[in-house]
Amino acid sequence: MVWFTDCRTISSGDTFGSMGSAWEGYIPSTGSDCHFAVLEARDYSKVLRRLEKEAFEKKLAFFRNLPSLSMVGMKLLRKLMNLFKEVTLKRGDYVFKQGSLATNVYVIFEGDFEIYRKKINKLT
């Protein structure tokens, strides 16, 4: 006898399959009459490669137009670009606080930052 240790319900708009799905290892079984679309893995990969290439080219153009990197050659620029990690913050989040040592270089892709310094009043 086989006992299921975990059972999840997925619904309209969810995806499943072998292409990096969160449901890998699960056995899909319909819980009701279903109507769904199927995309072959090779076509999915082809589309992803195209989207990744477009995203890469867009990011490369962004880095190429940064004044601080304007003198860097294309080969080095690609290496630098791939070393950057993308971070998403919500309004009001801090990257670091006053007094902390900034040990990174930050490039803003999108959005606005408020950069301020608190004045310390010294009474003498």
- Digit-coded pLDDT (tens) for 37-85: 777 888 888 888 888 889 889 988 988 998 888 889 999 998 888 888 8
Model pTM above 0.85: no
Residues with Cβ within 8 Å of residue 10, at least 6 apart in sequence: 16, 23
Half-sphere exposure of 8 (CA within 13 A, CB side): 12
Across residues 106-117, what is the average pLDDT? 82
Share above pLDDT 90 across residues of the chain, in percent, rounded to a whole number: 4
Q: Count the Cβ atoms, other than its own, within 10 Å of residue 16.
A: 14
The pLDDT assigned to 76 comes to: 92
